[in-house]
A and B are shown apart, each in its own frame.
Chain A
Amino acid sequence: MSSLDQQHLDHLDQLEAQSIFILREARVRLKRLGLLWSLGKDSNVLIWLCRKAFLGELPFPVAHLDTGLEFPESYEFRDRYSQEWGLNLIKDECPPIEMTDPTLPPGTRIAARKSLGLAAALEKYQFDGLITGIRRDEQATRAKERIFSPRGLDGSWQAANQPPEFWDQFTIERAPGTHMRVHPLLAWTELDVWRYIQREEIPLVPLYFAKDGKRFRSLGEIGITFPVDSHASTIEEIIEELENTRTPERAGRSMDHEAEDAFERLRTTGYL
């Protein structure tokens, strides 16, 4: 690394430092922390940042809300890196689709299994803080999120009544029996994530890289996540592609598009 004494921090340095600051606040403020690992690129970055923040360790459990519908490559990745990174992995299966709200559109119902799985994990492990990798640039309702976001008793997001958050003074108040969501990557963009993965050489599920003219830009369950047309088979090419695209990141996620409010309904009832 070059001398930092005179140089300015670059954008990735600033994002990293701010995320580490947030993670350390979460650890000192919240007793029973957990991290939600989707196996996707953003939560991999999150784990990477945790290991930096906590001087090489990950001092709380990492939960993968398993629907049983992940791609085989994702499971292979999970099993390899949970070992390599020394994660305390929770991999409980989410409740079946019959348990979800039948008025939701079909793709949204599959995603809603994760909300149920999350509620079950909260109940079982009594987390008072959950760290997730959501970003403001992913989706318009996520853009309204706080870094420390208190949830209601049923895990719900009080979108219309969020607390103030300024000068890095985060809300720590939450009602008994509720938990806090913590969002260290909120200020990052998709490109920031990829540039950081490139810089730090963070491993990824290979499905992100183009094969036969297709790649996954956003990784979710089989059946509700679809690849996009792409020839970007390296990180460099993906960055190049993203610098020039106008297609939104979650275009391949069917649950975002089934109804105007589908995603907000998911989110207000506890989804990420």
Chain B
Amino acid sequence: MAPAATLAAPRAEAPVLAPRKAQAPYPIVIVGHVDHGKSTLIGRLLHDTDSLPEGRLAELQKVSSQRGLELEWSFLLDALQIERDQGITLDTTRIWFKTAKRPYVIIDAPGHREFLRNMVTGASGADAAVLVTDAERGVSEQTRRHAYLLSLLGVTKVIIAVNKMDLMGHAEAAWQAVKDEVSAYLAKLGMQPLYVIPLSARHGDNIATRSQQMGWYQGPTLLEALDLLTPPAGRADATFRMPIQDVYRRGDRRMAVGRIETGRIRLGDKVEIAPTGQPATVASIDTGRGDGEQFARAGQSAAISFIEDAALARGQIIAPAGHMPHLALALRVRAFWLDSEPLVVGSRLTLRLTTAEHAVVVEKFERIVDVENLNDADSQELGQGGIAEIVLRSAAPIAFDPHTDLPITGRAGLARGTRIVGGAVVLGAAENAGSVKGPVTAVDSSVDRVAFEARNGHRGGVLWLSGLSGAGKSTVAMGAQRRLFDDGWRVLVLDGDNLRKGLNKDLGFSPAERLENVRRVAEVAKLMAENGSVVLVSLISPTAELRELARSIVGDGFHEVWVKADVNTCAQRDPKGLYAAARDGKIAQFTGVSAPFEAPASPDLVLDTAEFDIPTTTELLIAHIRRNLALDQADGHAVGI
């Protein structure tokens, strides 16, 4: 790429200055009840630190006097006409200033309850908060609500500004009263104010300069307190999490793109992709810094590809091998509600947890919080601005971290359709809710087994065809399927080779992976059989252990069929050239050659394809199926021959 110098000013002639590093501004949100003086405090802070742009004070004086007001500091931030005309802050805004120590960005947040969504919008971007409290009126409704929301938003560094001390004669007792009240409330939320500062925004006392009126106060001024705040700890040392935003292709390589929320990652790292837990190995990392990137860390947006052909999709979370997020079908969350239409049990929501979206139902309210006193509220619904602990249930497993472990993958937006109406931090899996590894509460099919059978004229069932490669499992299964299908049966074939191209393509042939292969196939076959189909499974399943696993999963309706042919016959047939490859050592662990096949001890049916030809064994299978799964003529249902 041509350097800017070709069109811009010549760089070579410029003196070489060591570029001063841009410093990230420290984000502070100013919150509190309406009219407790937030905007005045911000105006004063900017004025006293000489941070106002040229002409801004004059402009403020002009628009204030046009409205018949004295200098109105709030106009600095309330830039919208409607805000100025009505004298209220509607929406959050930002303004920059700096001290000798560092730059800041001040986030102003509205104090009206009806604009709580804007307060949340502003406060969510802050690392610390100044909670402004009127010395005369003390802690008010939005003081408490804002404090509670700060705790949910994870903004736990809180400075209390006890404003309007001039109205209280600058008396220490007035400050002490507010301090006690606020501290007691915050303590119940597990927070402690860093500083409680008596000040007068209007007169500039204890903002940038120490008050002459309050010699009894020994603590820092507001400006000093801001400079004493410590920056947030880096997130790179936490457990690695990268939620996938999208999947890009470059050539034939697929890349998961997303932002690394916590931890770090290197080339060659073994990862698991939640919620499925498929394993993968990092093959490349691209954060836009050029070729040969070796690692990336929290905060970076990255594109990552894997050695394996992993199935990637938006909403998955990449995690280190062995450190997957939790999985659950129901979550306990602490939620804040911003919508005018209340939340009730049975409400359907979209849980937006990083980039994943889950359809959830409000299963129950564990408690609705009375923000006034933090007791349980006596209510059956969660109104606008309310806070509650609720249980949300999903039909599919949700990957999450408890927010106390990893805040970013432990919180979620709540949406109605596509409209964001609240937020929640995840407390954990709901008890008895079926953490996915524990007992799962099954969702009943809306059509029952009898209804399926009545329509189909046959029962569902699983015919598990095991045997050596080349024994004829698939051929027999396909032949039987065609005949039964033509007779009106619902009949499906699950073929091991085909499944390994899709559902099970992440699995190899180690004993553990063969077990998982069988488990998945058995689970799928069971679901289909429960929905009335006859399922013909064609899978080598070489050991008694594997076949027992399948039998235990499917339960009733499982038929073990041994497609029998000796290894020499199969090797002679060798339709896929696999025996030749295995003998050449090109395939490890090949059943019958380098891995054992345990003959079934007591199969329900034996199809000897070395002894009989394919049409004959196919007829034997069809006859077995009809005999066992067709409904009796006496039931009045046509079997169809």
Contacts and interface: CB of A to CB of B under 8 A. Distances in A.
A203 B6 CA distance: 8
Given A12-B22, A143-B93, 13 more contacts: A1-B290, A10-B24, A13-B300, A140-B77, A159-B80, A159-B91, A167-B124, A173-B419, A203-B7, A203-B8, A208-B8, A247-B53, A247-B54
Contacts of B245: 21, 24-25, 28
B539 to A, nearest CB: 38
Contact of B79 (A28, A143, A168, A240): A143
A19 to B, nearest CB: 9
Interface string B55-67: 1100000010010
B4 interface: yes
A261 B53 contact: no
B413 A21 contact: no
Contact of B338 (A54, A140, A144, A164): A164
B6 to A, nearest CB: 7
A92 interface: no
A196 B336 CA distance: 38
B257 interface: yes
B121 A21 contact: no
A99 interface: no
B3 interface: yes
A171 B77 CA distance: 24
B94 interface: yes
B94 A136 contact: yes
Contact of B303 (A55, A165, A240, A246): A55
B285 to A, nearest CB: 10
A4 B296 contact: yes
B295 interface: yes
B179 interface: no
A55 to B, nearest CB: 6
In this complex, which of B20, B234, B338 has the most chain A Cβ atoms within 10 angstroms of its Cβ?
B20
A169 interface: yes
A144 B423 contact: no
B297 interface: yes
Given A173-B418, A191-B22, A164 B80 contact: no
B22 A236 contact: no
25 contacts: A4-B300, A13-B299, A17-B299, A21-B245, A28-B314, A53-B301, A144-B92, A159-B82, A162-B118, A163-B117, A165-B420, A166-B120, A166-B121, A166-B423, A173-B419, A195-B19, A201-B1, A203-B7, A206-B8, A234-B10, A235-B4, A236-B15, A247-B53, A247-B54, A261-B81
Contacts of A167: 124, 408, 411-413, 423
Given A4-B295, A28-B314, A169 B352 contact: yes
A164 B121 contact: yes
Interface residues of A, number: 76
B90 interface: yes
B301 A21 contact: yes
A209 interface: yes
A156 interface: no
Interface in B397-447: 408, 411-413, 415, 417-420, 423
Given A164-B121, A248-B55, A264-B80, A9 B299 contact: yes
A52 interface: yes
A173 B421 CA distance: 12
Given A8-B234, A25-B245, A202-B4, A160 B14 contact: no
A12 B13 CA distance: 26
B4 A166 contact: no
Interface in B17-35: 17, 19-25
Nearest to A5: B295
A208 B9 CA distance: 9
A126 interface: no
Interface string A52-94: 1111000000000000000000000100100010000000000
